[in-house]
């Protein structure tokens, strides 16, 4: 009786794409080792039966080297072998290395079916694999597939029933490589071809000087595109909608209430100069949707478009090599750049992605640095909205301060924490070009995730703020924290509300700062403090889950200390 189907394979062979094909469940897939850090489950219906399919994080062998690999292997071993089928996914363009895990699985007695993925890519790389012969060697079904287009998936499902345990003697690691050498010799034929343009680019991106030049170009261009697209969407779609269509609607609703009362205050908010001001009115129907849909969403969409593209092409691991040296001084290694980049979108997936780092110490440093010094898209969008109208110095100033904090804090943590920063051993994938449809799907999936998570919190948050303000309940909290905020940070005591709400969501908090009439310098300090102080509640929950209670407290204390020091310093340096 088969209870589960496991998908297992080396990192970055396309397990998640095969998983989506089998189950119809969308999961994020990218072109770098270690995209999957969480276990995804879905169902495959064969005839009458509905079997659970589990997508495991990639692993090179059955002896795990990171937390993600550990999860993969322990889940695989949880179930008695006769109750599971293992679909071993292999990268056909790199058969030799992939077979190491395959043989291990067979030796251990799992019923496997080998899925030779990325078969479309073998032809132009001059590789020919005789699948029939490979089947004979492995004594298991071998199915060539191309998961991104769906080729071979049907056959894979049909042949699941042919998977059966094979008696094979356990080999030592050396013997296993010898055996693999024999198999590859017999089943794989290589035709010699010239270097393609793609390969020249691949090599250039791992060279020290050419790599740095490429990275500078890629980062600069990405930043420009994100900003340009974001502004374009706001100007051409969001603002016309809100000002041309939505505002007249609200105006008539407002006059129905006669411009006052509890509901008016709650839903429309305060009029600024006699009109609804989407950025400042703070109503559940005015500022809340405007912040999310016309200030944050456009940038979020363009950010994720560029990030997804870079992920799928396979550029990110190349950035990891370039930054390894720098990150080493912070107690991390180059690969930590990937969680950091994801953190720029939203801290939650960023912190989850730290699971690919080997040690607990690294995960602590990376998570703490991300939650303090990496501003998410909603926060960045609001910083642009808040400070963009002043000279460009203020916006870049926030980034500069955050960057300095990350560097200094990293240096200190690396010195202060016991242990050492491990070295990295990372596979650099070849460049691949994802079908546009797949890219669009991934973008849609990410935006949907954001909307489902953010919109309810923002609406409820603004509602709660308005109720608190209406019944004057903020006054108590304000008076408690006023000495710190006013005395040390040089901000008016009304800014307390914003810093407190920052715990809920950063974008709403920045919105609360707008009506206070702060000077550019004060806004600069407030925005910086919002970025480094408590992460939003969602991040907090993930930190608790990933770090545990004790380390969460440690991270929080660090956060508070940094906030107080930076706030005070900024106040005395630029305000006084």
Partner 1 sequence: MKKISLLKMQERQKGKVAEILAGPGLTHRFMSMGIYKGREITKLSHFALRGPVAIKVGRSVLALGHGMAGKITVEVE
What character string, x for contact with partner 1 (CB under 8 A) and - otherwise, covers 74-113?
-------------------xx-xx--xx------------
What character string, x for contact with partner 1 (CB under 8 A) and - otherwise, covers 493-522?
------------------------------
- Least Å from the CB of residue 69 to partner 1: 10
Tokens of 277: 């001001």
Q: Rounded to 5 degrees, what are φ and ψ at 456?
A: -60, -40
- Least Å from the CB of residue 93 to partner 1: 6
Is 322 a binder of partner 1 (CB under 8 A)? yes
What character string, x for contact with partner 1 (CB under 8 A) and - otherwise, covers 364-403?
----------------------------------------
**Separation CA 381–CA 266 (nearest Å):** 25
Query: Closest CB to partner 1 among 4 and 97?
Result: 97
Closest CA to 329 of 426, 420, 404: 420
How many residues of this chain interact with partner 1, rule: CB under 8 A? 36
- Least Å from the CB of residue 175 to partner 1: 11
**Residues 421, 362: contact at Cβ < 8 Å?**
yes
**Separation CA 500–CA 498 (nearest Å):** 5
Closest CA to 370 of 358, 383, 381, 357: 357
Q: Which residue has the tokens 């790199």?
A: 94
Is 333 a binder of partner 1 (CB under 8 A)? yes
Query: Closest CB to partner 1 among 399 and 424?
Result: 424
Beta bridge partners of 115: 89, 143
Q: Which stretches of 297-391 are DSSP H helices? A: 297-313, 316-329, 337-345, 347-353, 360-373, 377-387
Query: Closest CB to partner 1 among 41 and 77?
Result: 77
- Least Å from the CB of residue 60 to partner 1: 4
Query: Closest CB to partner 1 among 92 and 512?
Result: 92
Is 362 a binder of partner 1 (CB under 8 A)? no
Query: Closest CB to partner 1 among 184 and 455?
Result: 184
CA 556 to chain centre: 22
Query: Closest CB to partner 1 among 46 and 216?
Result: 216
**Separation CA 268–CA 260 (nearest Å):** 9
What character string, x for contact with partner 1 (CB under 8 A) and - otherwise, covers 208-227?
x--x----------------
| Residue/partner pairs of 66-71 with CB below 8 Å, 24 or more apart | 66/34, 66/355, 66/356, 66/357, 66/358, 67/355, 67/356, 67/357, 67/358, 67/363, 68/34, 68/36, 68/37, 68/355, 68/356, 71/39
Residue from 65, 213, 473, 553 that binds partner 1 (CB under 8 A)?
65
- Least Å from the CB of residue 55 to partner 1: 21
Residue from 173, 182, 235, 448 that binds partner 1 (CB under 8 A)?
173
- Least Å from the CB of residue 185 to partner 1: 13
**Separation CA 413–CA 421 (nearest Å):** 11
**Separation CA 502–CA 496 (nearest Å):** 10
Query: Closest CB to partner 1 among 65 and 216?
Result: 65
Span from 14-22, 172-180, 227-235, 381-389 in contact with partner 1 (CB under 8 A): 172-180
Q: Which stretches of 502-536 are DSSP H helices? A: 506-513, 520-532
3-state secondary structure 34-73: CCCCCCEEEEEEECCEEEEEEECCCCCCCCCCCHHHHHHH
Residue from 43, 177, 390, 445 that binds partner 1 (CB under 8 A)?
177
Residue from 109, 165, 422, 449 that binds partner 1 (CB under 8 A)?
422
**Separation CA 469–CA 492 (nearest Å):** 16
Q: Which positions touch partner 1 (CB under 8 A)?
A: 60-61, 63, 65, 93-94, 96-97, 100-101, 173-174, 177, 202-203, 206-208, 211, 317, 320-322, 324-325, 328, 333-334, 422-428, 430
């Amino acid at each position: 009786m088969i209870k589960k189907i496991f998908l297992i394979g080396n990192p970055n062979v396309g397990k998640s794409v095969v998983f989506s094909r089998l189950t119809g469940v969308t999961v994020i897939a990218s072109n770098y080792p270690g995209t999957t850090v969480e276990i995804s489950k879905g169902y495959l219906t064969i005839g009458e039966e509905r079997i659970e399919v589990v997508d495991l994080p990639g692993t090179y062998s059955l002896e795990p080297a990171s937390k993600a690999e550990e999860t993969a292997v322990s889940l695989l071993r949880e179930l008695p072998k006769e109750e599971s089928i293992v679909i071993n996914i292999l990268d056909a363009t790199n058969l030799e290395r992939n077979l190491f895990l395959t043989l291990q699985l067979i030796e251990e007695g799992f019923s496997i079916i080998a899925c030779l993925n990325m078969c479309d890519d073998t032809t132009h790389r001059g590789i020919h694999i005789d699948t029939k012969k490979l089947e004979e060697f492995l004594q298991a079904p071998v199915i060539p597939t191309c998961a991104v287009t769906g080729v071979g998936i049907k056959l894979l499902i049909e042949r699941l029933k042919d998977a059966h345990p094979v008696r094979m003697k356990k080999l030592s690691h050396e013997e296993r490589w010898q055996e693999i050498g024999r198999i590859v010799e017999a089943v794989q034929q290589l035709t010699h071809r010239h270097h393609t343009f793609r390969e020249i680019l691949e090599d250039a991106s791992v060279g020290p000087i050419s790599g740095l030049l490429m990275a500078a170009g890629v980062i600069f261009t990405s930043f420009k595109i994100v900003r340009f697209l974001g502004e374009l969407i706001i100007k051409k779609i969001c603002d016309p909608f809100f000002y041309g269509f939505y505002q007249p609607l609200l105006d008539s609703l407002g006059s129905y209430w006669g411009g006052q009362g509890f509901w008016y205050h709650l839903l429309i908010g305060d009029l600024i100069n006699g009109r609804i001001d989407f950025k400042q009115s703070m109503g559940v129907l005015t500022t809340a949707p405007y912040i999310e849909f016309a200030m944050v969403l456009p940038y979020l969409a363009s950010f994720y478009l560029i990030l997804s593209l870079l992920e799928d092409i396979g550029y990110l691991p190349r950035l990891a090599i370039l930054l390894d040296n720098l990150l080493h001084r912070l107690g991390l290694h180059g690969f930590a750049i990937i969680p950091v980049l994801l953190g720029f979108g939203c801290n939650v997936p960023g912190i989850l992605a730290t699971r690919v780092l080997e040690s607990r110490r690294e995960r602590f440093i990376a998570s703490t640095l991300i939650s303090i010094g990496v501003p998410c898209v909603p926060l960045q969008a609001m910083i642009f909205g808040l400070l963009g109208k002043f000279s460009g110095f203020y916006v870049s100033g926030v980034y500069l301060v955050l960057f300095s904090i990350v560097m200094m804090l990293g240096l200190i943590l690396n010195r202060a924490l016991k242990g050492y920063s491990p070295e990295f051993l990372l596979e650099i994938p070849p460049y691949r070009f994802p079908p546009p449809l797949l890219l669009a799907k991934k973008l849609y999936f990410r935006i949907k995730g954001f909307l489902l998570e953010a919109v309810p919190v923002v609406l409820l948050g603004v509602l709660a703020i308005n109720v608190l303000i209406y019944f004057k309940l903020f006054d108590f909290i304000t008076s408690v924290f006023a000495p710190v905020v006013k005395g040390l940070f040089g901000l008016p005591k009304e800014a307390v509300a914003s810093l407190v709400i920052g715990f809920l969501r950063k974008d709403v908090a920045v919105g609360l700062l707008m009506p206070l009439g702060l000077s550019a310098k004060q806004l600069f300090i407030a925005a910086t403090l919002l970025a480094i102080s408590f992460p939003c509640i969602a991040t907090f929950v993930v930190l608790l889950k990933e770090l545990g209670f004790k380390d969460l407290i440690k991270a929080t204390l660090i956060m508070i200390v940094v906030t107080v020091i930076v706030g005070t310093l900024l106040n005395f340096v630029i305000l006084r």
